[in-house]
Chains A and B, each alone.
Chain A
């Protein structure tokens, strides 16, 4: 970026300006992929009440990225590995049911150790990574074409898996005992969903940072579930809100000097607030 981009009175020109630089095109492509993935995975997270588990997985992205950098590997690889390992650990030790997973002390412990390890890796490697801000709070700069392609592949894999699991996963999330009695393999679904969740979080945190994943993962889905009870409509709304959030945030961040994470979070929060108000009015 040679000069700071400025808003002109012509919105078409502004829009065209957004697509001038390859870094911005990559950011918009990555944001779109991530929003679709987070919108759908997030809908299940809210239904299953696994927001605490997903927060833990997102914190795991931090030691993942810093650890990978310390080992001389791409940070993105660290995101994917750490979140998947975290998902397997929570699934294996986090207690039987989805409900209990949310409250388990194991999750809290994993989270704290992860955060501390990330801080250690960062201190050992200050020169390469600069500061923790971008890893924790996100950035849209420097997303490569390769990263976008990996994001796309991860998203396609995760969404194919979720499509195959769709109804049994909803059944197990709504009424675990009845689903189990009906022949749904609830324990296997728990484990598989956590891995999909880990991958979605690893993807999302590359844009939003480890701590602000919620803005794309939970806020749009929670807003959608305030507005509709229908599963398909809920999923569509959730994706729409996530896309709106990331596109607006990227556009504003492009023209401003403040970090994208702030805009993502604020827009996500405003959408959730409006949905809550609208939902309360309808009831």
Chain B
């Protein structure tokens, strides 16, 4: 459990800090004794088998699920108060073909979709604000490389294109923390690599910490600052090699785990009870 807290230029508070946190849902303990610190601006993958509590942990960070014990701070505040500074992309199916909404409108909703009323810019100040908002929408669409198809219906776009627009939607309000729940899941391998690279770039240029829930560390490994690995109701946090090795994971799972490294440098975790998704025999 590394606690390397890099001092941030604006505020020293880490993006996420959990101390001895436990989460219980309907009487069932999902996670316990979770302590970890994510410094601002880092790109972190949240890994672990199905049902390990990855999405639940994300919801706790969003303030949607209460802790049963311990404490959680997001950007130095309780999660509910930090919500405006978190961009969130839930675990999801893709938009179906009948979704008749343009990508650019989707991204705009990320910016002002929670505001009541209809925007009628009457004052010069309101008009300036409107202009700034339009510019910001164009900027994030450009950043994720979606400018070529932002004016088409999202339902007609490919999974990778939709995912880029959804990342733009989560980014548009300039969050300090971005939580992406399995954004690579519905993508083919080239797109997984491309989106992983994009998120790395976003984390640097927008100076935003990214928590990315994933099944497979391999498309991400080259870009990550660290990983959080959930298994057996507990969590480990550290850099990729520090966490994904046989002794550490065996300890976490409480059973014998092997970590193999393929000739092309991919990591394969073998031996845990639930057949994991991350030893596909795919090649990147």
* A245 interface residue (CB < 8 Å to B): no
Report the bound CA distance from A163 to B112 in whole Å: 15
Instruction: Check if B109 sits within 8 Å of A171, measured CB to CB.
Output: yes
B12 contacts the other chain (CB 8 A)? no
B105 at the interface (CB under 8 A from A): yes
Q: A47-B100, A183-B83, A230-B102 are in contact. Are A178 and B90 (CB under 8 A)?
A: yes
> Which residues, 155 to 211 on B, are CB-close (under 8 Å) to A?
156, 166, 169-170
The answer, yes or no, to whether B106 is at the interface (CB within 8 Å) is: yes
B260 to chain A, nearest CB (A): 36
Q: In the complex, what's the smallest C-beta–C-beta distance from B206 to chain A, in angstroms? A: 18
Residues of A within 8 A of B100 (CB): 47, 225, 229
Q: Is B89 an interface position by the 8 A CB rule?
A: yes
Q: Is the CB of A182 within 8 A of B117?
A: no
- Map CB proximity to B onto A37-58 as digits: 1 under 8 Å, 0 otherwise: 0000000000101000000000
Within 8 A of A (CB), among B12-36: none
Residue of B nearest to A229 (CB): B102
Q: How far is the CA of A167 from the CA of B152 in the complex (A)?
A: 20
Q: Are B118 and A163 in contact (CB under 8 A)?
A: yes
Residue of A nearest to B90 (CB): A177
Give the chain A neighbours of B11 by CB distance below 8 A: none
Q: Kindly provide the distance from the CB of A96 to the nearest chain B CB, expressed in whole angstroms.
A: 15
Query: Which residue from chain A places its CB closest to the CB of B92 in the assembled complex?
Result: A177
Task: Determine if B101 and A164 form an interchain contact, defined as CB atoms under 8 angstroms apart.
Answer: no
- Inter-chain CA distance A14–B113, complex, in Å, is 48
CB distance from A167 to the nearest CB of B (A): 5
**Size range of the interface on A?**
20 to 34
Contacts of A74 in B (CB 8 A): none
How many angstroms between the C-alpha atoms of A193 and B254 in the bound complex?
A: 51
Bitwise, B85-123 to A at CB < 8 A (1) or not (0) is: 010111010000011111001100110111111110000
Which residue in B92, B99, B115, B170 is a CB contact (below 8 Å) of A167?
A: B115
* Contacting residue for A229 out of B101, B109, B119, B170, CB 8 A: B101
Assuming A229-B100, A229-B105, A229-B153, is B110 touching A178 (CB within 8 A)?
Answer: yes
What A residues does B109 contact at CB under 8 A? 167, 170-171, 174-175, 179
Q: Which of B84, B92, B116, B166 contacts A168 (CB 8 A)?
A: B116
Q: How far is the CB of B52 from chain A (nearest CB, A)?
A: 21
Checking B113, B117, B169 against A184 with a beta-carbon cut-off of 8 angstroms, the contacting residue is B113
Given contacts A47-B100, A175-B109, A183-B83, contact A166 B114 (CB under 8 A): no
CA distance A171 to B86 in the complex (A): 17
Give the docked Cα–Cα distance between A170 and B151 (Å). Answer: 17
Asked if B62 is an interface residue, CB under 8 A from chain A, the answer is yes
Q: Chain A contact residues: over half helix, strand or loop, or mixed?
A: helix
Nearest CB on B from A202, distance (A): 25
A166 touches B117 (CB 8 A): yes
In the complex, A165 has a CB within 8 A of chain B: yes
From B86, B117, B169, contact of A163 by CB (8 A): B117
Given contacts A163-B117, A166-B117, contact A181 B90 (CB under 8 A): yes
- In the complex, are the beta carbons of A182 and B110 less than 8 A apart? yes
Q: A47-B100, A230-B102 are in contact. Are A167 and B88 (CB under 8 A)?
A: no
Is the C-beta of A142 less than 8 angstroms from some C-beta in chain B?
no
- B106 and A175 contacting across the interface, CB-CB below 8 Å: yes
Collect the chain B residues with CB atoms within 8 Å of residue A182's CB.
88, 110, 113-114
Could you tell me the distance in whole angstroms from the C-beta of A232 to the nearest C-beta in chain B?
Answer: 9
CB distance from B18 to the nearest CB of A (A): 19
Residues of B within 8 A of A22 (CB): none
* B105 nearest CB across to chain A (Å): 6
Nearest CB on A from B139, distance (A): 19
Contacts of A177 in B (CB 8 A): 90, 92
Q: Is A231 on the interface with B (CB-CB < 8 A)?
A: yes
Inter-subunit contact A174/B110 (CB<8 Å): no
- Chain B proximity of A186: nearest CB distance (Å): 11
Would you list which residues of chain B between 225 and 277 have a CB under 8 Å from chain A? Answer: none
Measured CA separation A161–B33 after assembly (Å)? 47
Residues of B within 8 A of A179 (CB): 109, 113-114
Please name the residue on chain A nearest to B179 by beta carbon: A181
Interface string of B140-160 (1 = CB under 8 A from A): 000000000001110010000
A163 to B99, CA, bound (A): 22
Which residue in A47, A178, A231 is a CB contact (below 8 Å) of B169? A178
- A69, B118: Cα distance in complex, Å: 40
- Which residues of B have CB within 8 Å of A170? 109, 113
Residues of B within 8 A of A183 (CB): 83-84, 114
3 nearest A-B residue pairs (beta carbon): A171-B113, A177-B90, A181-B88
Query: Can you list 25 A-B contacts (CB < 8 A)?
Result: A47-B100, A47-B101, A165-B116, A167-B109, A167-B113, A167-B114, A167-B116, A167-B118, A167-B119, A168-B115, A171-B109, A174-B99, A175-B169, A178-B166, A179-B109, A179-B114, A182-B88, A182-B114, A183-B84, A183-B114, A229-B101, A229-B102, A229-B105, A229-B151, A230-B105
Given contacts A164-B117, A167-B116, A168-B114, 4 further A-B contacts (CB under 8 A): A183-B83, A184-B113, A229-B100, A231-B105
